[in-house]
Amino acid sequence: MKRLSISLPAIALVLALALSGTAFTSAPGTSNNTITTTPAQHYQNVPFLKPNYFDQSYFWYWADDDTYNDYGTVLYEEWELGQYYYPGVEIDTNPGAGTLLMKGYPYYCQPHNTLPLVFLYAHFTY
C-alpha cells in the first residue's frame, strides 16, 4: 500500500505535464517557439542587401566635423553614401587614393572613448 501511495502522485504529475503540452516537446518553452527575435531593420527596401544577424553595426560620424550620421552596417552605409550623398562615386573601405568620408565607432558617445574601427573612403574619378 505504501508503494502505491508514493507512485500515484508521481504518475499524476507526469500525466498532468504530458497533457498540458509542456513536457515531451522538442521546442523551447518561449512564445511562438522562438529563441530570439531580430530587431526591425531600417533598410528592408534596399535592393541586394539582405540583413545578416551577425553583421556588425556601427555608429557613423562624418570625418570632417565629427557629427553623427546614423547607425548601420558597413554595406548599408556604403550603399547610402553612394545612393544619396555621392551618386556615381565608388565608396569602400580601401584607403588607397581615397578621400576619408566617415568613421564607424562601436559606441555612441562624444567625445569618443574608443578609436574608430571602420573608415569609409570615396574614390573620385574624373
Cα dihedral value 88, 83, 108, 120, nearest 10: -20
In Å, what is the CA distance from 22 to each residue of 11, 33, 81, 120? 16, 12, 50, 51
Give per-residue pLDDT as tens, 67-118: 999 998 898 899 899 989 999 899 999 999 899 999 999 998 888 899 999 9
Place of cell 578621400: 99
pLDDT at residue 35 above 70?
Answer: no
What average pLDDT does this structure show over 11-27?
67
Distance CA 113, CA 27 (A): 42
pTM: 0.59
